[in-house]
Chain A
Amino acid sequence: MTDDLLGAEGDPGNGTADTRRDTGERNTVEIDDGTGDLEEGRSGTMLLARMAEAVYWAGRHLERAEGTARIVQVHTDAHVDLPVGEDVGWEPLLAIAGVDSEFAERYQAAAGPEDARAAEEDVIEFLLHGEGNESSILASMTAARENLRTARPVVPREAWEACNNLWLSSNDLLEEAHTREGRVRWLRRVIAGCQCIHGILLGTMSRDEAMSFLVLGQNIERADLTTRVLDVRSDSLHAPGADDPYDVVHWMAVLRSLAAYQPFRRAMPARPQGGSTLRFLLQDDRFPRAVGACLTEARAQLKVLPHSERAQEACQNASMVVASAPVARLTVGGLSEFLEDVQLALVEIHERVDDTYFRPSFVGWEPTVATR
């Protein structure tokens, strides 16, 4: 018996004469007349604006989850290296994550004035899964999973599965993160899980427009995270000449939180201190978490996307801000202000991407089309 049972069993009786209407030609509406022939638009992969937004955010949230996990892990390690009393406490983690005020609202309102320093347990809980912290590791993973779920049709099945699995196990095993020892395991699983997802994407996803949005989101988030890690160190830079015996420990921690220690050692002859570290993490063009490299990558992705001129321009502008950083001067002051400029330049890239591809102004393209 053939697959085509209908064919094998005979005509169903109403004359299956093909009544298909051939409209002859079809329309592909191009926004930009200069982008080439109509046939090209028909050749298959289209990417819905909504899907593009979902993969872009999946890229950002995955990066945020991994980045936050690294920072917490490294801070825990560094904390152990410092004598009691010399340590910097746990507040810097809140500053890096940009959630100090949210934390204060939840935890310190309840505590008395004698608890001036935030307790380790509270900070860790807040960063890992705290209620009211929208960028906690777990919240970021949940958001990444939701976005990948929406974008399932355009991302490899295995990537979604890995993300779903990581999300499930991180939830299931949350209890263990309450001890320092268990926390290390939990964070390692998150970092390895995120790396696994990136690996699947790199190894199995076509370098199509969806991939570009994912990598774009990833790099904007990475650049932002690097600036925030640096910003926290800016406080202790304001005492020129002060010989902090733990300076090297602090800068090593900065490098380690960005997985940059080994690449830094290989690339820079100097020992880790302010100037060399700043130069590396801001301006290096080969280390994937250096702001300069992130921007180069982001721009490369934008170049293959249609209508990306404005976003590219913002990207180029950010690159120039970073490249012109007066690194030596920044070690003695003004680092925080400078990093704020970089962050604003990053926000500008995001906003232009958002405007061009995801936002209602996109709907404004319709009338142009309708009159054709």
Chain B
Amino acid sequence: MRGKVLRPALAYLVTALVLLPIVWMVGTSVKPPIEYVSPVVDLLPNAPTGEHYRQLIDDGILGKMLNSLIVSFGATFLALFAGFLAAYALVRLKLPKNADMAFLLFVLLIKLSPPIVLAIPLYQVLRTLGLLDTLAGLVLVYQVYALPFAIWMLLGFVRDVPVAYEEAALMDGASLFQRMVHVVVPLMTPGLIATAVFVLILCWNEFVYALLFIQTPSKFTLPTFIATLITEDETFWGRLSAIGFIASLPILALVGVVQKGLTRGFSGGLK
């Protein structure tokens, strides 16, 4: 009986604690500067202000947001396209002996390689392609993170598509392409969406490559812009919190999808 009360109570408490930094961030984003350097515990402002949000607009935040959107969607589209084909081939098509296992180990190796290690040679790749300091270049290099992740998640979803449906379509004389478009993709839509959401978040938040490969200020993405708010003279906590909140809103809205997708995607990878 005690557990019936204690357990939920504990769960609520932990949830509140986990949420605290986010509440603080939202509070600080509307705090006047004088309040956030005070040695007193206060989460919410006494005299709320919208000045930090206004300043962000002046800083050209909308342009940075657009950059982040372009790069995230571009990279997600590319990763889903290449990742879906690869995952389908690995699960459903006859590959040379052990090729599928070798390919998966290879994906694991890529996941293991620290992004910073690849950064130096990637510089040269991007320069050769003329894609340094361009958003298209970021779309390309983000595949280092996005593609292994997409393949990993999609594998599970492809396996969930019942073979029988495809066999039935085959009997009706559907070609491979027709089966893909009319049977597999529609059946996998929830999985594709879940994967897309994940890859989107991954790319939306990416920092290292954006820091290294983008030089022109108007092409900065949100995370690299956030880093410039910590200056040598002072840290703009208000603006930092405001932009943190803005940058998080779209993905916080997706948290439900993430929760479901993660649970299914990762247990899929286990089997």
Q: A and B bound?
A: no
